Structure 1
Amino acid sequence: MLNSGNSTNPMLLHNKLHNNNETTRWLASAATTGGSKGSRRHPGKAILAGGIAGGIEIMITFPTEYVKTQLQLDEKSATPKFKGVTDCIKQTYRGHGFFGFYRGLSSLLYGSIPKASVRFAMFEYLKNQLSDEKGNLSQGGTLLSGLGAGMTEAVLVVCPMETIKVKFIHDQTQPSPRYRGFFHGVRLILREEGFFGVYKGLLPTILKQGTNQMIRFFVFTNLKKWKQGGENTKNIGSFYTFIFGGLAGAASVFGNTPIDVVKTRMQGLESHKYKSSWDCVVQIFKKEGVMAFYKGTIPRLGRVCADVAIVFTIYEKVMQALDYVWKT
């Protein structure tokens, strides 16, 4: 007869091994993201990892953002300045050289770090709140977490940052540019338009960022689950993280470029022509047609696919390092 107090009791050994295996699986899951079992993460880690990823990404992809914005500001109703993407690139290089593609970078760089920090921190927070006791997140929960992350970053960071960026890029196309630098430009905008001058186009920005992150996190999470094949703690590696991030970015571009065009027009130097975001939609449709809502799609596609792929990849690597040195 076995002694129930003996440490060699088979039942106790079974329970001990089971608990150890559960602990091992939980620790391994800390290196995964989005909807996996036990994949809850501390928002504080997301702030650091997101900020680092956002800063590196914008330094790489800004030229495509510059070209996209130029094309979206080029109205068909007036005399078009650019014949297309290639012509915009040629004119920019001919007139300002290689670094001409980085005009307005400072406005986006100063904002990209906090933007990515807020985005990932809010996503992780909402994901933790909406997941069940085992850390499982439903499809609806993934959509809501992405939507909430996008809307939060839109209000706190993206709208003022994007408004300043668009004004900077638009200003550089004028015969006599007024802004001598980032801080001079910001002071001028605030003095002439007040604090809410950097919150023009807030509604389309919220719609854009909300749908952006909703689509991106949803697509990325589901592609990752598919690759893991039911092994929720499996590390898919940087290659697949990059590819899935790019596909998630592409999905968001085709899903909300019309919103991006309206947002850009509302934040440009000639935004006074529009009474509201809806009036901007109506005027673009009447004067330029449906296809005007897809201006800048090609450069935006290149920029966003690279953006999301790079950010997700760097975020994963930084988060894994933080999981190793910062136990939460």
Structure 2
Amino acid sequence: MNPLDSGKDILFGSIAGSCGKFLEYPLDTIKVRLQSQPINKPLKFVGAFDCIKYTYNHEGFASFYKGLTSPLIGSALENAILFVVYNSAQDIIKNNFYGGNKNAQLSLPVLTLCGSISGIFSSFVLTPVELIKCNMQVTRLYNNDVKLMANNVPKKSDLNILPFVKTIFKKNGVLGFWSGQLGTLSREFIGDGLWFGSYEVMKRSLNYNPNNDSPIVKNLKLLISGATAGMIFNLSIFPIDSVKSKVQTYSIVNSDSFIKNPTFSTIFFTILKNKGIRDLYTGLGITLVKSIPSNAGIFLTYENLKLIFN
């Protein structure tokens, strides 16, 4: 891939990712709060509507967008990396196995592999971004100002990015920002492969052809393909994402810290022991709902920008 094409992928992916994140973020806040409930205590919320009602009544509408800045930037970076690596991986394969034929149609397993490779790279950007995001989304629920100050967590009145960055660095150093990296990497390797793979499956099934389809039909096919890809992604990786969220919010949600070393594996087996496998799917419904507009928006924006400026 030449530098100009890479630059376009970075720009278009960033714009598409930001649009998608803005569309999904209120429901993402609910999803994280449902996932991050205490492991060894009764659930705070019985379901998504209960969480939505509580959040609105106690914290107001603005709380649904609390912590948006960090994931908005992160989503822009994530999708820039995803698309540029995804397309670059395809170009490498075409150059080495298809004689440099840029128009060669790669098989779906190969495209899925390219998506998984892109997920590996994006995970290193996502982990610190999601660490900050998840902590900001649950802090108001489980701590009063006294507890927050005692645990070196920013007070409710200071819930913006900078205090959280300072707190994480003070407690765990630079590597602390990659708490939950194993979960994020596993999630992205599996999920992004299926994300791109299912997207390509749907486009081919719908006979997507931007040169022959009318604008309405073309965009409808992109919306359906993107929405399907988003649901497949979340269905495939949701248990991993649940554990990852609990790892990243453990010190806030579980004030008694009954797990001394909250790693991915310790949290996973503790969940199975105390709550059962069902707890790994808490918040799945609201996640599938939020995935429809966000992923449809990502692919619609990205594909149309490519058509306009290529």
The two structures have a TM-score, normalised by structure 1, of 0.81
1:56 equivalent in structure 2: 19
Q: Distance in 1 between matches of 2:186 and 2:272?
A: 19
Aligned twin of 2:287: 300
Find the counterpart in structure 1 of residue 218 from structure 2: 237
Amino acid of the residue matched to residue 262 of structure 1?
Answer: V
The worse-fitting range, judged by mean Cα deviation, of 310-319 and 184-193 is: 184-193
- Give the deviation of 1:103 after TM superposition: 1.1
Report 1:132-281 matches (<5 A).
Answer: 132=98, 133=101, 134-155=103-124, 157-173=125-141, 174-176=143-145, 178-179=154-155, 180=158, 181-228=160-207, 234=212, 237-270=218-251, 273=259, 274-281=261-268
CA deviation digits over 1:122-172, x for unaligned, max 9? 1111111123324221222101111011111001x1011111111111222
- Preserved CA contact (<8 Å) 2:115 2:197: yes
* In structure 1, distance between residues paired with 2:175 and 2:44: 30
Take 1:304 and 1:211, find their aligned partners in 2: how far apart are those partners? 17
Q: What residue ranges of structure 2 are gaps of 5+ in the alignment?
A: 149-153
Structure 2 CA distance for aligned equivalents of residues 148 and 54 of structure 1: 18
Partner of 2:73: 110
CA drift of 1:233 comes to 6.1
Return the offset for 1:234: 4.9
Q: Using the alignment, how far apart are the partners of 1:256 and 1:112 within structure 2?
A: 18
Instruction: Write out the 4+ residue segments of structure 1 that deviate beyond 6 Å after TM superposition.
Output: none
Q: Which residue in the other structure is 1:19 paired with?
A: none
**Distance in 2, Cα, partners of 1:150 & 1:58:** 17
- What secondary structure is seen at the aligned counterpart in 1 of 2:206? helix
Equivalent residue in structure 1 for 2:29, among 66, 72, 78: 66
In structure 2, the CA distance between the partners of 1:237 and 1:260, relative to structure 1 (3 Å rule), is: same
Query: How far, CA to CA, are the matches of 1:269 and 1:117 in structure 2?
Result: 30
Q: How far apart, in 1, do the equivalents of 2:136 and 2:210 lie?
A: 45
Change beyond 3 A, Cα 1:81–1:246: same
Compute the displacement of 1:275 (Å). 4.4
**Alpha-carbon shift at residue 56 of structure 1 (Å):** 1.6
Q: How many residues get paired?
A: 281
Match of 1:291 among 263, 278, 290: 278
How far residue 68 of structure 1 moved from its aligned partner, in angstroms, is 0.3
Question: Which residue pairs with 2:299 in the alignment?
Answer: 312
The verdict on how the C-alpha distance between 1:88 and 1:232 changes in structure 2, with shifts beyond 3 A counting, is closer
Distance 1:315 1:87 in 2: 35
Percent identical pairs in the alignment equals 25
What is the TM-score of this pair, normalised by structure 2?
0.85
Q: Distance in 1 between matches of 2:42 and 2:108?
A: 47
Q: Distance between the aligned counterparts of 2:273 and 2:227, measured in 1?
A: 34
Q: Distance in 1 between matches of 2:212 and 2:247?
A: 44
Name the residue aligned to 1:30: none
Amino acid at match of 2:135: K
Q: Which amino acid aligns with 2:112?
A: L
Asked whether the equivalents of residues 171 and 269 of structure 1 are also in contact (C-alpha less than 8 Å), the reply is no
Distance 2:265 2:172 in 1: 21
- In structure 1, C-alpha distance between the alignment counterparts of 2:10 and 2:92, rounded to whole Å: 17
Q: CA RMSD in A?
A: 1.9
Q: Which stretches in structure 1 are left out of the alignment for 5+ residues?
A: 1-40, 324-328
1:130 to 89, 93, 116: 93
Determine the C-alpha separation between the residues in 2 that align with 1:254 and 1:310: 19
Measured at CA, do residues 56 and 306 of structure 1 come closer, stay the same or move farther in structure 2, by a change above 3 Å? same
How far apart, in 2, do the equivalents of 1:153 and 1:185 lie? 22
Structure number, greater radius of gyration: 1
Conserved in 2, the CA contact under 8 Å of 1:250 and 1:305? yes
Alpha-carbon contact 2:210-2:218 (below 8 Å) kept? no
